[in-house]
Amino acid sequence: MKTLAETRARGALRLLLGTIALVSLALAAPWGGFAHAATCDTSWASAVSGTWSDATKWTAGVPSAAAKVCITVAGTYTVTGGGSAKGLTLGGSSGTQTLDLNGSTLALNTQGSGSNGIGSHGVVLLRSDTGSYSWLNITGGTLTNAGSIQSNTSNYSAALNYLDGTVVNNGTVAVNFSMTNENRGSWTNAGKLTVGSGATFFHGSGDFTWNSGTITNSGALQQLGGGTFFANNAGALGGNAIAIQNASVAPSGTGSAAFTVTGSSRLSSDIAAGYALNVDGGTLAVDASRTNNGTLTFGSDTGAYAWLNVENGATLTNAGTIQSNSSNYGAAVNYWYGDVVNIGTIAINFNTTNDAKGSWTSKGLLTVASGATLNLNTKNLTLTGGTLGGSGTVQAATVTNTSGNVAPGASPGTLTITGGYTQSSKGKLTVEIAGNGAGQYDVLAVTGAATLGGTLVLAPSFTATLGQTFGIVTAGSLTGKFKKVSKASIKSGLYYAPTYTGTGSSLVVKQATVSVPGTAMHGATIGVSGTGWLPGDKVTLTFTDSASAKTIYPTVTANGSGSFSTTITIPAAAALGTGKVNAKSTITSVSLTKNVSVT
């Protein structure tokens, strides 16, 4: 009597042997590794080369348009020519089975549905040395390629091979000679697609979906005529940019690729990191709110205008990089319509206008290069963070700096605002000072009304001297003052003092002083006075004794001439020895310390 363990062991062995038998059967299957057996109305009879039109080579005569055709017998051979069929299964279990169209047409009217397409041992050659075109025409169904499709040299006068219809590529497609699908059918690539140098793959109005696999574009891969190129892959494009012409692009995958956009085209998804779109003398329409996490450039070397058109009330959010670059369009301007939110980098390197269509909000980096204008016309630019910089011009109804940083120049220079400028309490203006001559320090030039507030941040790279003046803000009219000035101190009470008129603000190098008696008894009241401080500045006074005990006194306000005079009381418990009286500006942080000997 068998034990339970023996019974289980024998059962497992039978299961293993059965599995091996099934695998062996699959490997030996006449359909060459296809997932399912093909349905064959007529098959290539033996592993001998011949022509499609030779009835003796087929098991049931030359295929008709209603026949499902199989070329699956193992071995290496070539079937030359074409005809009509319902569907095709090409590829056996071993060897190489080649279908060479050579200037002929193969029409498949119901590909699929029992016809497996091209297996791993199958090869289709589109070529011609006959003067006629080579055409694989899938009028119905989908051709699945797990083998190889090659577009090779043709002496047809149009210098093209034709592959029309819907294709799923899980194998290899090599476009070594120009090929078109004549706006018929969609493609899905999960295999290897190469476009050779000098060759073009014209993909028409159907969609092209890149799910996985690789694309190497040493020639020209073009999405044309209204379809959408979906970049869903996790791989990287090799070679040249993919051309999008009068079509749509959806670069939302995790891979990387470059696209050149011309004609009237459309963005159909967010732009993922790793993808770059260059609008070259064409239009890229954005009809729903999108986010750019990659790189988007627009300009022209074609003589046509470049137009980024955010329409239908949508918003383009930039979290990557957008550049407006040079154009040879006659009006010397790029067009950018619609609402924009910038949290990345936008570089306006060439004249750009929105024709008063859409407002901008920026909390990233926005630069306008020297000689370039960002023209928002009657719309506004709001800085909620980040930096607005450069030596160009911003034309807007108002530039409102709520909590951003305006940094004119590019080491250094003048940033011009044609319109109004308002700097709120959390806004900053950063000014670089490299010298006292014209062009050696930054200037914010506002043609309209300017309202100042917030912080002035100085970035000096040389040592100014007493009395030097730097006109850092010009305006049609000016109100308000900076509440803080950062890095104003030069040395020993010498500092950059902001001054104001009705049309601008300048920095004047002043000398602040503070005076105290040389000696004082603990518990005594002494006089403290100062000159050269900012009018209206609140000066904080402190006393620190020789034991580092610190006393803070009420602030004193400098008068209209920048002077103050007050008294402080040395604490009765102050340690004997040298103490220090310090005066510090609330606005500029200028700090001066004088010694007092406590007796």
Amino acid type, 301: D
**Averaged pLDDT for residues 121-141:** 97
Burial 460-479 (b: 16+ CB within 10 A, else e): beeebeeeeebebbbbeebe
pLDDT above 70 (res 13): no
Ordered domains of the chain (ranges, CATH): 516-598 (2.60.40.1930)
Encoded tokens for 365? 């980096």
pLDDT at residue 422, as a whole number: 98
pLDDT at residue 3, as a whole number: 40
pLDDT above 50 (res 7): no
pLDDT at residue 233, as a whole number: 80
Amino acid type, 224: L
Q: How confident is the model at residue 34 (pLDDT cuts 50, 70, 90)?
A: low
Q: How far is CA 493 from CA 272, 513, 541, in A?
A: 53, 7, 15
pLDDT above 80 (res 17): no
Q: Which of 60-69, 234-243, 494-503 has the lowest mean pLDDT?
A: 234-243
**Averaged pLDDT for residues 122-149:** 97
- The H or E element spanning position 197 is none
**Averaged pLDDT for residues 267-292:** 97
**Averaged pLDDT for residues 157-161:** 95
> Which parts of 109-224 are beta strand (E)?
117-118, 122-128, 135-145, 148-154, 161-169, 172-175, 179-180, 187-189, 192-195, 200-203, 208-210, 214-217, 220-224
pLDDT at residue 320, as a whole number: 98
Give the model confidence (pLDDT) of 176-202 as tens digits: 999 999 878 999 999 999 999 999 999
pLDDT at residue 239, as a whole number: 97
d(CA 232, CA 226): 19
**Averaged pLDDT for residues 401-423:** 96
Q: How confident is the model at residue 23 (pLDDT cuts 50, 70, 90)?
A: very low
pLDDT above 90 (res 6): no
Three-state DSSP class for 19?
A: helix
297 near 315, Cβ under 8 Å? Answer: no
Whole-number mean pLDDT of the chain?
93
d(CA 165, CA 149): 14
pLDDT above 90 (res 27): no
pLDDT at residue 470, as a whole number: 98
pLDDT at residue 38, as a whole number: 80
pLDDT above 70 (res 518): yes
Proportion of the chain above pLDDT 90, given as a percent: 90
**Averaged pLDDT for residues 437-446:** 97
Nearest in space to 130 (alpha carbons), one of 55, 80, 76, 62: 80
Cα torsion at 99, 104, 110, 114 (round to 10°)? -20
**Averaged pLDDT for residues 426-445:** 97
pLDDT above 60 (res 26): no
Three-state DSSP class for 95?
A: coil
d(CA 129, CA 134): 10
pLDDT at residue 369, as a whole number: 98
Contacts for 157 with CB less than 8 Å, ≥ 6 apart: 131
pLDDT above 70 (res 19): no
**Averaged pLDDT for residues 289-318:** 96
- The H or E element spanning position 113 is none
pLDDT above 90 (res 342): yes
Helix, strand, coil distribution of the chain in percent, nearest 5: 5, 50, 45
The CB density around residue 20, as the number of other CB atoms within 10 Å, is 10
pLDDT at residue 321, as a whole number: 98
**Averaged pLDDT for residues 453-465:** 97
**Averaged pLDDT for residues 580-596:** 98
pLDDT above 80 (res 490): yes
Between the two ends of the chain, the Cα-to-Cα distance in Å is: 115
Q: Which of 126-135, 231-240, 357-366 has the lowest mean pLDDT?
A: 231-240
Encoded tokens for 459? 């970035």
**Averaged pLDDT for residues 140-167:** 97
The CB density around residue 145, as the number of other CB atoms within 10 Å, is 23
**Averaged pLDDT for residues 358-369:** 97
